[in-house]
Amino acid sequence: MADKPKLTTDGGAPIADNQNSLSAGPRGPLLIQDYQLLEKLAHQNRERIAERTVHAKGWGAYGTLRITGDIAKYTCAKVLQVGVETPMLARFSTVAGERGAADAERDVRGFALKFYSEEGNWDLVGNNTPVFFVRDPYKFPDFIHTQKRHPRSHLRSATAMWDFWSLSPESLHQVTILFSDRGLPISPVHMNGYGSHTYSLWNSAGERFWVKFHFKTRQGHKFYTDAEAEAVVGRTRESYQEAMFGAIEKGEYPKWSLQLQVMPEADAAKTPYNPFDLTKVWPHGDYPLIEVGEMELNRNPDDYFAELEQAAFSPSNTVAGIGFSPDKMLQARVFSYADAHRHRLGTHYENLPVNTPHCPVHNYYRDGEMNSTGIRTGNPDAYYEPNSFGGPQEDPSVKEPPLALTGAADRYDHREGNDDYSQVRALFDLFDDAQKQRLFGNIARAMAGVPDRIIQRQLAEFHKVHPDYAAGVKSAL
């Protein structure tokens, strides 16, 4: 007994009895002054917070990013300099399922990384696919509605999904990856991660480069077929947590190679595709992968809620030397995530230990609900700016080089003049016969119950990719 910590109220006062509530006589009733009982019940009522609107089910761990390749000519970001090791957090997730969803479900996987760099947090919030279903963020909430439950039946709706996809040819690339083997990895350690968007890098001379980030699994790609996944889900809904948490507990640390594709700023005007279009990749033949480093996951969080549920990843977290691009989807995400965090976790979500940068934070933001840091300028007299009390000041050396923009403001048709088929064809051509057969079968099963007119519209889209694609799905149907 003596060496155990004392049980206390939230006010710190020791509790005499945590087994029996306070009652008038052994049979009750209870006394309202049993504050310890009330506090316990009140806490239980507040244990759940809103789940993420997407990517609610997740698995994660801490690790290290080590840079081994010299890319100083592309970026001045400290986190990407050769020899630098940066502590990090990874959270992988499925997109559509709720917090309690089964792990082995066919879905895109989130691949969210937070690097606690010396110069601030850099978050790379990617997926296990290099492209996405839509290219204009105006369409993102509509797309997500098709993935979530039908308002009346409260069931997932294959009709909604294929209706939307068949009316949105830009989705073909991602749909093809989703229904291929890579749409159902056996665990997060057996999949690649992609920053997906085009980001930018700039070097100390102020030159900008466009960049794509790739994290290639060193564990090899492994996948479940639909039938295998069904058996797995029948056995356990937590196969990913078991696999990744279990491996790290045993000291089997998963690793990924960090590779970059780099495009000189001026090339963006020359590529036959829009390099800022999230439904497109940059062919490796044009922009070869450059080996930059390795990421290793080597420590499980101690408290899932505090460290993963409350983790707040945001594409808006960048550091000097790494920036955005004109990609419209990325632009919307720069707004969306911090907004989601303020709603889900509160104004001061960045003060939660898992989100706190590993470098000093100084700013003039004040007050607000659950503010645990107090004045963040280091001096209570310096609570506005400019001031003459030695408060924190801007640092022009981290300024991004200017970006020239052109064009009249308008709502441009994002489908006009876009080739939604060639890159999908290149992917389809990569698949061997067995992969193609599994692709056809996976799609056909996912179309069960979908009205024929929607199926026909989707088959017409597959046909534009490759006649064999449409024919294969048709015969699997």
Active site amino acids: 55, 127
CB 91 within 8 A of CB 60: yes
Q: How wide is the angle at C-alpha 327 spanned by C-alphas 85 and 297, nearest 5°?
A: 25
- Candidates 107, 103, 117, 105; CA nearest to 60 is 103
137 binds, among ligand HEM, ligand NDP, none (CB under 5 to 8 A by kind): ligand HEM
> Which window, 8-16, 76-84, 139-147, 276-284, contacts ligand NDP (CB under 6 A)?
276-284
Residue 180 contacts ligand NDP per CB under 6 A: yes
110 binds, among ligand HEM, ligand NDP, none (CB under 5 to 8 A by kind): ligand HEM
Q: Work out which of 77, 112, 247, 470 binds ligand HEM, going by CB under 6 A.
A: 112
Residue 281 contacts ligand NDP per CB under 6 A: yes
User: Residue 135, SS3?
Assistant: coil
* Cβ nearer to ligand HEM, comparing 187 with 196: 196
Q: What crossing angle do the helices spanning 452-465 and 467-476 adopt, rounded to 10°?
A: 150
Residue 218 contacts ligand NDP per CB under 6 A: no
52 binds, among ligand HEM, ligand NDP, none (CB under 5 to 8 A by kind): ligand HEM
Rounded Cα distance between 6 and 375, Å, is 33
285 binds, among ligand NDP, ligand HEM, none (CB under 5 to 8 A by kind): ligand NDP
CA distances from 367 to 14, 344, 363 (A): 31, 18, 12
365 binds, among ligand NDP, ligand HEM, none (CB under 5 to 8 A by kind): none
Rounded Cα distance between 113 and 93, Å, is 12
- Decide the pairing of beta strands 322-323 and 199-202: antiparallel
* DSSP for 419-465, written as a single string: --SHHHHHHHHHS-HHHHHHHHHHHHHHTTT--HHHHHHHHHHHHHH
CA distances from 10 to 38, 45, 367 (A): 12, 16, 23
* Cβ nearer to ligand HEM, comparing 36 with 274: 274
CA distances from 397 to 3, 206, 233, 262, 393 (A): 53, 10, 53, 23, 12
> Which window, 336-344, 375-383, 411-419, 454-462, contacts ligand HEM (CB under 6 A)?
336-344
Burial 232-247 (b: 16+ CB within 10 A, else e): bbeeebebbbebbbeb
Size of the site for ligand HEM (CB under 6 A): 28
Say which residue the tokens 């947590």 belong to: 241
Residue 96 contacts ligand HEM per CB under 6 A: no
Helices (H), 153-260: 158-166, 172-178, 226-235, 239-249
Q: Work out which of 151, 220, 285, 380 binds ligand NDP, going by CB under 6 A.
A: 285
333 binds, among ligand HEM, ligand NDP, none (CB under 5 to 8 A by kind): ligand HEM
Size of the site for ligand NDP (CB under 6 A): 18
Residue 283 contacts ligand NDP per CB under 6 A: yes
130 binds, among ligand NDP, ligand HEM, none (CB under 5 to 8 A by kind): ligand NDP
Residue 182 contacts ligand NDP per CB under 6 A: yes
Q: Work out which of 35, 140, 365, 431 binds ligand HEM, going by CB under 6 A.
A: 140
Question: Could you give the string, one character per residue 416-455, with x where binding to ligand NDP holds by CB under 6 A and - elsewhere?
Answer: -------x--xx--xx---x--------------------
* DSSP for 81-127, written as a single string: STT-EEEEEEEEEESSS-TT--SS-SS-EEEEEEEEETTEEEEEEEE
Residue 336 contacts ligand HEM per CB under 6 A: yes
- Candidates 72, 94, 91, 92; CA nearest to 83 is 72
Contact positions vs ligand HEM (CB under 6 A)? 52-55, 58, 91, 93, 110, 112, 125-127, 132, 137, 140, 196, 278, 311-313, 329, 332-333, 336-337, 340-341, 344
Q: Where do contacts with ligand NDP occur on this chain (CB under 6 A)?
A: 130, 177, 180-182, 192, 216, 281-285, 423, 426-427, 430-431, 435
